[in-house]
Structure 1
Amino acid sequence: MPRHLFIPDFYLHTGMDAEDERKGTHFTPETPGYLDAVYSDQTLVTQFIEYNGWPWPTSSSTAPSLMLRMLQDLHVHDGMTVLEVGTGTGYNAGLLSQRLGADRVTSIDIDPELVALAGPRLQEAGFHPTLAVGDGRNGFPEGAPFDRLIATVAFDQIPLNWVQQVKPKGVIVCDLRHGGAPWSGALAKLEVGGDQTASGNLLACPVGFMSARTQVGTPGTSSAVSIDKTTCHGRETRVGGSSAMSPGLALSIWQRIPNLVVYPGEDTFTIVSGDSWAEVSLHEPTQVTYSGPEDLWAVVEETHAWWRASGQPEVQRYGITVTPDRQWVWLDTPDRPVAV
């Protein structure tokens, strides 16, 4: 699948003097090194939107190795139908079309501009899959049921619509990740049951996809929050910020503080949730400064103690279950939820 057909221009931080220190260097076919970059195993940013005075990346062509890994986890067979959530450049839809036939591939994206660009690129490559504009959280009921569903943008929950639109024993592969703390995520691989439920293990993936947008004009990443430092409390803690970034522990912290937003600095680690915040050094033991109605770092300490008592589990020991009533992340078995 010729990747350059789908990425006629992109932005990349090369380590050299960039045209724009925020976006990186803008590559086109006339830029020296264009083809080397296109056919490298790098994520190439293809779209920015201006939001609150800053260019936010909202679409990219993900590193091919991660795309391949997800397609392998999807485990497609001849004759299957697939729904892709997150058309982006169209490259992944092209790979699926090459494998299954374009008539068995549907791809949806919330951004009509991206879908309009992806269509001609896919046609140039010789494929005409079904393309649609819409919020991927709703799936694509017009084409359901599907044998497989793959999401190439990050979601912090698995939409029940997906479970309802995938056949029993079908597979959903999604980047399960929170925009406020992206390293706390993982790939989720779920098998759909016959009763509108789905369950499966999480797969370690420290680098993931951009967060799904709820509307075209705003980025999917959590917006900045204010921190009120007029009244602060301080105490000692034996859990530093570097410990809180361990993948298995970070995943557990996110489940216990769902609306968490993290700001890692050169030597500090700040977490915010609602009107509460806490800041510590990356090292330990250290001093924690906190404020608000809840001592957020106490939740981190409790989660850290639970995580250590559980054998300091890596991401692969976690899983997720989705039912019509709720969904939860668990450790080892569904009857051991992380959030208590």
Structure 2
Amino acid sequence: MDWTSYAAALAKRATYASSRWRSAVAETPRHVFVPRWWESGPSGWALCDGPGDEPRWLGTAYADTSLVTSVGPCHADHAKFGDRPTGLPTSSSTLPSLVVRMFQHARLGSCDTLLDVGTGSGYGAALAAWRLGEEQVTSVDVDPYLVEAARERLERIGRRPSVETIDATGDLPGVFDRIVATVAVRPIPASWLTALKPGGLLVTTIAGTSLLVTAEKGEDGGATGRVEWDRAGFMRTRTDPDYQEAATGDLLSIARAHEGEQITTGRYPVVNVAEAWDLSSMLDVTAPGIEHCYEEHQDRRVALMTHPDGSWVRAVAQADGLPTVHQGGPRRLWDTLDEIRTYWLTNGELPVRGARVFIKPDGTTYLARGGWHARL
């Protein structure tokens, strides 16, 4: 199979011409790491088999896009055609340009040791091993099968970083100059700071947000840094084959149909919060754990919000008109959203992006910018 021209084209899309990562992308056969994957469609998740359709395999594997390899506990490698897994994606091969950007945020030097948290398909570990040398790269994942498959596929292409099955929120295998996580966490595990050398850099994302954090470890065992202006979103860490989701179906049904304990007119048009990354991130820092549902029916817009504490919202509007807002439960979630949008209009931006980050040795994390601050 002639994959090299595809990989070269991907390298041009995913890296700058002078980037030291360009050759890593151009010389790494990504298709080896994603022989099968899941695609979402009107009928749910459908299995795609690369060897069964090589042209499609090459076109998909060398596109700068993420490929879902596992849904719930069902990995594509083990699936049969006709299977329709349910639940959330639990593993993927992240789009190559984002993998490269995460490594670039770590400002990796040629002599640095790297802990790659979230092995996934193994593609990121392959790029890091090309760039740094396999002896300087350790990759960890909680899923034994992912580790086994990644190790075998890395071996197949001649790259042999250390790949281990470990719950990354617990003890880690060594001490490193850099830790780069392609899984999201909240809070930041204390073990990450323990495993980071003084002066070392941590790069991660905060679960439930698109906030990308870089922080340097100090002599006191804590770390300081910032929320980058860049954005990234990853699956959050897990300890089981699947995520344990809160049962919000009944509450969503209530939000769709009930009148609510409070009915008001909102100050701003209905917005699809989940697609408004900065707004969504600020809201999740302020009131973590909200689930969103957004629907459009011709000119009618409906936004639903639910929270595990029993709070819920239904906001309904015609086009960009002001919505009628029904709210129930212990908190008024739409009021919180409107307060954030008012802050944005008053100040020109939200403080969460670009905020300073302070991480204590136990992982407790604070964000601050100007007069605003929050504890994660």
State the TM bucket, normalised to the shorter chain: 0.7 to 0.9
TM-score, scaled to structure 2: 0.78
Aligned twin of 1:181: none
**Which letter maps to 2:316?**
S
**Cα contact 1:211–1:220 (8 A) shared by 2:** no
1:306 to 1:219, Cα distance in 2 relative to 1, 3 A: same
Aligned twin of 1:26: 48
Aligned twin of 2:36: 9
Aligned twin of 1:219: 243
Say which SS state the counterpart of residue 373 (structure 2) adopts. Answer: coil
**Cα contact 2:344–2:350 (8 A) shared by 1:** yes
* Greater C-alpha radius of gyration: 2
Among candidates 238, 251, 272, match of residue 267 of structure 2:
238
Aligned twin of 2:99: 67
**Which letter maps to 1:172?**
L
**Which letter maps to 1:26?**
C
Aligned counterparts of 2:321 and 2:170: Cα–Cα separation in 1: 44
Aligned counterparts of 1:147 and 1:175: Cα–Cα separation in 2: 18
Aligned twin of 2:290: 260
1:223 to 1:95, Cα distance in 2 relative to 1, 3 A: farther
Aligned twin of 2:326: 289
**Counterpart check, 1:122 vs 2:149:** no
Aligned counterparts of 1:63 and 1:159: Cα–Cα separation in 2: 25
Kindly state the Cα deviation for residue 287 of structure 1 after the two structures are TM-superposed. Answer: 1.2
Among candidates 303, 312, 325, match of residue 277 of structure 1:
312
Say which SS state the counterpart of residue 325 (structure 2) adopts. Answer: strand
Say which SS state the counterpart of residue 372 (structure 2) adopts. Answer: coil
Kindly state the Cα deviation for residue 205 of structure 1 after the two structures are TM-superposed. Answer: 5.1
Q: Output the aligned Cα RMSD.
A: 2.7
**Counterpart check, 1:311 vs 2:362:** no
Aligned counterparts of 1:294 and 1:49: Cα–Cα separation in 2: 31
**Which letter maps to 1:37?**
T
**Which letter maps to 2:120?**
G
Superposition pairs for residues 148-167 of structure 1, below 5 Å?
148-167=178-197
Aligned residues: 325
Say which SS state the counterpart of residue 158 (structure 2) adopts. Answer: coil
Say which SS state the counterpart of residue 147 (structure 1) adopts. Answer: strand
**Which letter maps to 1:112?**
P
**Counterpart check, 1:331 vs 2:369:** yes
**Cα contact 2:50–2:56 (8 A) shared by 1:** no
Kindly state the Cα deviation for residue 336 of structure 1 after the two structures are TM-superposed. Answer: 3.3
Aligned counterparts of 1:58 and 1:43: Cα–Cα separation in 2: 13
**Which letter maps to 1:236?**
T
Kindly state the Cα deviation for residue 324 of structure 1 after the two structures are TM-superposed. Answer: 3.4
Aligned counterparts of 2:270 and 2:366: Cα–Cα separation in 1: 25
Say which SS state the counterpart of residue 204 (structure 2) adopts. Answer: strand
Structure 1 spans left out of the alignment, 5+ residues: 179-183
State the identity %. 29
**Counterpart check, 1:194 vs 2:223:** no
Kindly state the Cα deviation for residue 246 of structure 1 after the two structures are TM-superposed. Answer: 3.6
TM-score, scaled to structure 1: 0.86
